[in-house]
Amino acid sequence: MLGAILLTGYLGGAIAAHVRIHEDWLTQLLLGMILWGGLYFRDARIAALIPLRNP
């Protein structure tokens, strides 16, 4: 969990740097989404915090 939060901050900085110099930032965004998607399906506590469907 801590690793996902730290990587999110790192990827946010990478996205900000790429936006600033007008380069493609989609790769970093997709990597972050895959990271959180994997954590979502692996840990039920995250799924409880972020409900994607109605209970």
Give me the pLDDT at residue 55, please.
60
Give me the pLDDT at residue 17, please.
95
Q: How many domains does the chain have?
A: 1
User: Tokens 């740097």 map to which residue?
Assistant: 17
Residue 28 near residue 14 (C-beta atoms within 8 A): yes
Residue 16 within a domain:
yes
Residue 12 within a domain:
yes
Burial of 41 (0-12, 13-18, 19+ CB in 10 A): exposed
Give me the pLDDT at residue 52, please.
77
Residue 33 within a domain:
yes
Residue 11 within a domain:
yes
Tens-binned pLDDT, residue by residue, of the chain (55 aa): 788 889 899 999 999 999 999 999 999 999 999 999 998 899 888 888 878 776 6
This prediction's pTM: 0.73
Residue 54 within a domain:
no
Residue 55 within a domain:
no
Residue 20 within a domain:
yes
Residue 34 within a domain:
yes
Domain enclosing residue 25, as ranges? 2-49
Q: What does residue 34 show for φ and ψ, rounded to 5 degrees?
A: -65, -40
Nearest to 36 by CA among 26, 50, 25, 24: 50
